[in-house]
């Protein structure tokens, strides 16, 4: 039994006292002393602290996915909507009541906590039609240059150049709905017709524009056309509750795009950025408006630019005041940048391995992120059993709770995916099905620039034909007139014809013709502000 040298209290006493909250909370499980569960030392997480964000970490196979399920189910019971990404397709089991028995009964008996097999309200989404549920799409304009640069793996120079392209399109009011819209804008800028527009951007080199264009073509060939377009997903649809007051659990199915990890991680960040942009300030509510679980978080931060990391850090810091809690899910805390990690007040750390020098370094870094306790955390974290975790959360007053080795409770929904009939029923009953099922392709930058190019070509052809006819007529008249009079008439061109034919007048027409709509404005992460 661990005893505090300062207070004489055991670690279990500290846990028992430190997790006794008066405000509504969810139950994570019970404290473990040695090999035994201490049933009256219940480990909880206050609902009011969940918009202070959190981290669920641990090596593969240690129970992170089941922990997500436990958290999501209890949030739903508390009337809090939940969004989570289902990397392996296992979390659809929440729509099916768990049969219990066996290890579930054994675990819940040791914890002495109530448990009932329960089906939860689940909304299934997928990226661009790859998987079960309603497809999630975003327009290129809404996605913005910062996030798209991450998907395209552009360097700093290319990222800033892409931002200039978006800036030009935004100034012209050109809606970039899908990849071909952005491709057409870049093709216009590097064409003879767009060279003046390209010069107006200053720092955009033709060669850089060509590189970006090639990356867009590669993304399109790799299936990117399915993800970008309309109807764009409205993140307000994540904030739903059922008629009996349960929070809807929105599950983004990702098995179909596991070969595009950067794309799906960046899509998750776009959803978060869109929420940040649209939700009103609410301060510190008694419970969050939404809890957003960001799985495979390391994919978002790998090879990210400093500007991108700064934007993510700012979005995470500020979205708290909008009532949204964000939980990052990854293997070790070192996967998350320090600026973001410092904002994650609630920690559920599953077992870590120490088989390599890098593992040992990650273990040491993880231990350093926890409050001081009587635990030898380096030993505890490498000996945790599946379904156990080391926990510390923020209390109702915002102070860290004592570190608690915790046996996590069993989820009340089925562990593992639901059967196909259940999934089919969820899809057919979804209120989002009719809204997002069919892709749209309305007039946008591609069509407008194509029409403009066709008009320019038609005008050029007409002008050439007009010049040919005028030249023939001039030659005929000069041949019929006495010598000298034809030359005077030819030189006496009208003022209107001179002005219309001047380069200044053509430049004015070009400038006027490019202003097609209102300028598009952008948020902290470069995402487009929607006109709702």
Tens of pLDDT along 97-129? 999 999 999 999 999 999 999 999 999 998 888
| pLDDT tens profile 427-440 | 999 999 989 988 87
pLDDT of residue 118: 97
- Work out the percent of the chain whose per-residue pLDDT is above 70: 84
Q: Is the pLDDT of residue 497 over 70?
A: no
Compute the Cα dihedral for 367, 371, 376, 377 and give only its sign.
Answer: negative
C-beta of residue 33 within 8 angstroms of C-beta of residue 1: yes
Residues 170-183 have a mean pLDDT of 87
Average pLDDT value for residue range 411-419? 95
What is the pTM assigned to this prediction? 0.82
Cα–Cα nearest to 189, from 171, 174, 210: 210
Residues 444-481: tens digit of each pLDDT: 556 666 666 566 566 667 777 787 788 877 777 777 76
| pLDDT score recorded for residue 458 | 67
Task: Give the per-residue pLDDT at 505.
Answer: 38
Q: Residue 78: pLDDT above 90? A: yes
Q: Quick one: pLDDT band at residue 9, thresholds 50, 70, 90?
A: low
Cβ-based neighbours of 311, under 8 Å, separated by 6 or more: 146, 524, 525, 526
Identify the top-confidence range among 214-218, 246-250, 256-260, 491-495. Answer: 246-250
Instruction: Say if residue 390's pLDDT is above 80.
Output: yes
Distance between CA atoms of 91 and 249, rounded to whole angstroms?
10
70 against 198, higher pLDDT: 70
214-215-219-225 Cα dihedral, nearest 10 degrees: -60
Order of strands across the sheet that contains 249-253: 36-46, 25-33, 404-408, 388-392, 346-349, 54-57, 324-330, 290-294, 82-86, 249-253, 122-127, 134-136
What gap in Å lies between CA 86 and CA 63, rounded to an integer?
Answer: 14
Phi and psi at residue 290, to the nearest 5°: -165, 140
User: Average of pLDDT values for 258-274?
Assistant: 81
Angle at which helices 140-152 and 206-221 cross, to 10°: 100
Tell me the percentage of the chain whose pLDDT exceeds 90: 44
Give the span between the Cα atoms of 94 and 416, in whole angstroms: 8
Per the document, the length of the chain is 532
Lowest average pLDDT, out of 58-72, 276-290, 315-329, 488-502, goes to 488-502
pLDDT (mean) for 268-277: 87
Residue 531 has pLDDT above 70, yes or no: no
When mean pLDDT is compared across 127-131, 457-461, 494-498, 524-528, the lowest value belongs to 494-498
Rg for the chain, CA atoms, rounded? 30
Long-range contacts of range 20-27, CB-CB < 8 Å, 24 or more positions apart? Answer: 21/46, 21/395, 21/396, 22/396, 23/47, 23/48, 23/286, 23/396, 24/48, 24/78, 24/286, 24/287, 26/71, 26/74, 26/75, 26/78, 27/74, 27/113, 27/409
453: CB partners within 8 A, 6+ apart? 188, 193
> How far is Cα 37 from Cα 106, in angstroms, rounded to an integer?
12
Q: Higher model confidence: residue 20 or residue 259?
A: 20
Whether residue 92 has pLDDT greater than 80: yes
Q: What number is the average pLDDT over the span 499-505?
A: 43
pLDDT reading at 504 higher than 60: no
The predicted pLDDT at position 7 comes to: 43
Strands 82-86 and 249-253: parallel
pLDDT above 60: residue 500: no
Q: Which of 214, 196, 217, 205 has its CA nearest to residue 161?
A: 205
Mean pLDDT, residues 491-512: 43
> Given phi > 0 = left and psi -120 to 50 = alpha, else beta, which region is 484?
left
Per-residue tokens: 496? 């209107």
340: Cβ–Cβ under 8 A, 6 or more apart, which residues?
A: 301, 309, 312, 313, 316, 328
Mean pLDDT of the 378-403 span: 94
Q: What is the pLDDT of residue 131?
A: 81
Per-residue pLDDT, 6: 45
Return mean pLDDT, the chain.
84
Lookup: tokens for 357 = 């020098």
Give the C-alpha separation, 444 to 306, whole Å: 32
Per DSSP, what are the bridge partners of residue 3? 10
Q: What is the pLDDT of residues 28-67, one digit of tens each?
A: 999 999 889 999 999 999 999 999 999 999 988 899 999 9
Q: Which residue has the tokens 């392209």?
A: 165
Average pLDDT over residues 485-509: 44
Is pLDDT of 506 > 60? no
Q: Is pLDDT of 158 > 70? A: yes
pLDDT band at 488 (very low <50, low <70, confident <90, very high): very low
Q: What is the DSSP letter of 194?
A: T
Q: What is the pLDDT of residue 519?
A: 58
* Model confidence at 484: pLDDT above 80: no
Band the pLDDT of 392: cuts 50, 70, 90. very high
- The Cα 137–Cα 73 span in angstroms is 27
Q: How far apart are CA 166 and CA 154, in angstroms?
A: 15
Round to whole Å and give the CA distance between 48 and 394: 9
Are 1 and 34 within 8 A, CB to CB?
Answer: yes
Q: What is the per-residue pLDDT for 107? A: 95
């Amino acid at each position: 039994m661990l005893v505090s040298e300062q207070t004489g209290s055991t670690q279990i006493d500290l846990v028992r006292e430190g997790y006794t909250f008066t405000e509504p909370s969810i139950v994570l499980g019970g404290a473990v002393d040695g090999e035994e569960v201490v049933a009256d030392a219940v480990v909880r997480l206050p609902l009011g602290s969940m918009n202070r964000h959190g981290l669920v970490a641990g090596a593969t196979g240690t129970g992170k996915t089941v922990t997500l399920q436990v958290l999501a189910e209890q949030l739903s019971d508390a009337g809090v909507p939940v969004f989570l990404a289902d990397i392996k397709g296992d979390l659809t089991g929440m729509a099916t009541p768990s049969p219990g028995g066996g290890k579930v009964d054994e675990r819940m008996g040791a914890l002495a906590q109530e448990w009932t097999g329960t089906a939860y309200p689940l909304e299934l989404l997928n990226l661009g039609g790859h998987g079960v549920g309603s497809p999630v799409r975003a327009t290129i304009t809404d996605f913005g240059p910062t996030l798209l640069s991450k998907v395209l793996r552009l360097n700093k120079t290319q990222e800033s150049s892409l931002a200039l392209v978006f800036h030009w399109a935004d100034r012209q009011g050109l809606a970039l709905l899908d990849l071909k819209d952005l491709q057409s804008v870049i093709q216009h800028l590097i064409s003879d017709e767009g060279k003046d527009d390209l010069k107006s951007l200053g720092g955009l080199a033709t060669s850089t524009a060509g590189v970006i264009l090639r990356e867009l073509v590669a993304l399109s060939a790799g299936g990117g056309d399915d993800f970008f377009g309309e109807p764009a997903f409205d993140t307000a649809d994540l904030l739903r509750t059922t008629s009996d007051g349960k929070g809807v659990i929105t599950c983004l199915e990702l098995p179909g795009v596991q070969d595009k990890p950067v794309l799906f991680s960046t899509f998750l960040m776009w959803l978060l950025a869109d929420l940040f942009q649209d939700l009103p300030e609410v301060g510190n509510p008694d419970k969050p408006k939404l809890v957003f679980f960001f799985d495979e978080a390391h994919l978002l931060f790998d090879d990210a630019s400093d500007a991108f990391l700064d934007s993510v850090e700012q979005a995470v810091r500020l979205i708290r005041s909008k009532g949204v809690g964000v939980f990052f899910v990854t293997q070790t805390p070192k996967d998350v940048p320090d600026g973001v990690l410092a904002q994650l007040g609630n920690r559920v750390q599953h077992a870590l391995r120490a088989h390599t020098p890098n593992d040992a370094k990650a273990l040491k870094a993880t231990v350093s992120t926890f409050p001081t306790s009587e635990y030898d955390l380096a030993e505890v974290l490498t000996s945790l059993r599946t379904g156990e975790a080391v926990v510390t959360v923020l209390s109702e007053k915002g102070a860290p709770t004592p570190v608690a080795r915790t046996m996590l409770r069993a989820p009340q929904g089925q562990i593992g995916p639901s059967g196909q009939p259940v999934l089919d029923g969820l899809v057919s009953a979804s209120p989002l099905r009719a809204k997002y099922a069919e892709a749209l392709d309305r007039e946008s930058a591609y069509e407008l620039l194509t029409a403009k190019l066709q008009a320019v070509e038609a005008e050029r052809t007409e002008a050439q034909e007009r010049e040919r006819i005028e030249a023939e007529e001039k030659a005929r008249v000069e041949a019929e007139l006495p010598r000298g009079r034809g030359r005077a008439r030819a030189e006496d061109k009208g003022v209107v014809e001179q002005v219309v034919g001047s380069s200044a007048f053509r430049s004015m027409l070009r400038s006027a013709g490019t202003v097609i709509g209102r300028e598009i404005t952008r948020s902290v992460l470069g995402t487009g502000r929607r006109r709702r």
